[in-house]
Amino acid sequence: MHRHPPLADITVVTLEQAVSAPMCTRVLADFGARVIKVENPRGGDFARHYDDVVHGQAAHFVWANRGKESLSLDLKSQAGLELLHRLLGGADVLVSNLAPGAMARMGIGAAGLKERHPRVIPVEIDGYGAGGPISHKRAYDLLVQAESGACAVTGHPGLPAKSGPPVADISTGLYAALSVLALLYARKGDGAGRAPAVAVSLFDTMTDIMGYQLTYTQHSGVDQQPLGMSSPAVAPYGAYPTRDGQTVVLGTTNDREWQRLAREIIERPDLADDPTFATNGDRVGHRDILDDAIGSWCAQHDLAHIQKKADDAGIGNSRYNLPSEVVDHPHLSARDRWRPVETPNGEISALLPPPVIEGFEQPMGAVPGLGQHTDAILGGLGLSVDEIAALREEGAVGPAYSSSTCPLIETPADRNIR
């Protein structure tokens, strides 16, 4: 039996760019919400133009925007803004990540929605949150990773690095989606009434994610140094080259695991019995000795042998993979994790979202072309074909959609990003 999509009766309107807000609304779409993405007719979401590797489309965009409808409106025009208000009249949620103050200037910030659309849950994602000395600054994933200290604990000593995935954007989007779900649940209990506003900042998200490092430094006065593919918190824990040119990742998280690794895998009872390495704190202080011992043993054995011994001993281990190897990962194919997704330029394969829910599979809807659903959405608001044509003539509505039409590229002056 297939379950009714949990958010099938929810309509989300979004004014979004890049990754954080699109990730929030993609999650909501994955659970069945109708997501209407309002885009500037002059290029739309600028993430559409980051690259063209996916059948002429950008990888970021197709990843973060499936299952949405695209409505192209010029919100700098009064007619376009009024159309947005008509759309909000039937919406449940408004998500945005525009520049600080942009929503308020258009009259659709939290205060504006309170007056005109009190049941709509306003969700604003920004860089640094309100009320601080850097609240006005623009914020991108790298900038916030640097500001929050995440770059300082990533990489190697003297060689800080940004996390590969845009963790500030993604995590903020997930926090925003979680907030929406909580408020929708609360609304069922308290009935009609003004929806509380939600504000989630990338900086607050990243400082929360930095919880261990900040807590450690707060109480020790020590800025921990990054250790590449190891961890300052536990040892041994790291990546080691194997005899057959692979890299194995081995980790211990407690004293019992250390004893099993030393005795059953690398066969060094002398290290297991040495009080120098008795506790995790002791091992962290002497990690170089342990890394040398484990690295020397791994260099004498093939990956398959090392992983079998580790599995038999109950020690966590993995293979270091390149993205190209993960695309072909047998674990993904064996568990049937790939699904076809339609895009304006042809079908692609995309991974199912992580939640596996009995009786329900995420719909994996199509990636929209810029303005692809404009006429249908406006028709649903009661506008006639002639009225839509007139709005298009005056520029309030984007051009008629054609999959063969390449949208105009937005100029920096047109962009209204956070």
Residue of 366, 369, 377, 379 whose CA lies nearest to 401: 369
Count the helix, strand and coil residues of the chain and give each as a percent rounded to the nearest 5: 40, 15, 45
Q: Region 321-329: what's the mean pLDDT?
A: 97
Cα-atom radius of gyration of the chain, to the nearest Å?
A: 25
Q: Which of 106, 110, 16 is nearest to 68 (CA)?
A: 16
Q: Are 198 and 183 in contact (CB under 8 A)?
A: yes
State the pLDDT at residue 4: 86
Q: Which whole number is the average pLDDT over 352-363?
A: 94
Which tens digits make up the pLDDT trace of 147-163?
999 999 999 999 999 99
**Rounded distance between C-alpha atoms, residue 293 and residue 265, angstroms:** 11
Report which of 278, 236, 286 is spatially closest to residue 255, judged by C-alpha positions: 278
For residues 333 and 182, what is the distance between their CA atoms, to the nearest angstrom? 34
Q: What is the pLDDT of residues 62-103, one digit of tens each?
A: 999 999 999 999 999 999 999 999 999 999 999 999 988 899
Task: Give me the residue label for tokens 């590797």.
Answer: 53
Q: What is the DSSP letter of 251?
A: E
Q: What is the pTM of this model?
A: 0.91
Neighbours of 257 (CB within 10 A): 19
Residue 412 — very low, low, confident or very high, per pLDDT cuts 50/70/90? very low
Q: Which CATH number fits domain 11-210+334-394: 3.40.50.10540, 3.30.1490.150, 3.50.50.60, 2.60.40.10?
A: 3.40.50.10540
Lowest mean pLDDT among 123-127, 263-267, 320-324, 407-411: 407-411
Amino acid present at 320: Y
pLDDT band at 193 (very low <50, low <70, confident <90, very high): low
d(CA 255, CA 283): 10
Q: Which amino acid is at 394?
A: E
**Which residues 6+ apart lie within 8 Å of 387 measured at CB?**
378
Q: Is the pLDDT of residue 368 over 90?
A: yes
Query: What is the reported pLDDT for 404?
Result: 61
* Cα-to-chain-centroid distance, residue 30: 13
Instruction: Please give the average per-residue pLDDT across 232-254, as a whole number.
Output: 96
Looking at residue 194, what is its pLDDT?
Answer: 77
User: Across residues 321-343, what is the average pLDDT?
Assistant: 97
Percent of the chain at pLDDT above 90? 90
**Sequence ranges of the domains in the chain:** 11-210+334-394, 237-319
Domain range 237-319, its CATH number among 3.10.20.30, 3.30.420.40, 3.40.50.1220, 3.30.1540.10: 3.30.1540.10
Tens of pLDDT, residues 255-278: 999 999 999 999 999 999 999 999
What integer best gives the mean pLDDT of the chain?
93
- CA distances 150 to 60, 340, 401, Å, are 22, 35, 42
Report the pLDDT value the prediction gives residue 18, as an integer from 0 to 100. 95
Residue 192 pLDDT grade (very low, low, confident, very high; cuts 50, 70, 90): low
Among the listed residues 251, 181, 172, the one whose alpha carbon sits nearest the alpha carbon of residue 208: 172
What is the predicted pLDDT for the residue at 72? 97
The tens digit of pLDDT for each residue in 168-178 reads: 999 999 999 99
Report whether pLDDT(415) > 60: no
Burial of 92 (0-12, 13-18, 19+ CB in 10 A): buried
Residue 165 phi, psi dihedral angles, 5° rounding: -65, 150
**Mean pLDDT computed over 271-298:** 97
Any idea how long the chain is? 418
CA atoms within 13 A on the CB side of 264: 15
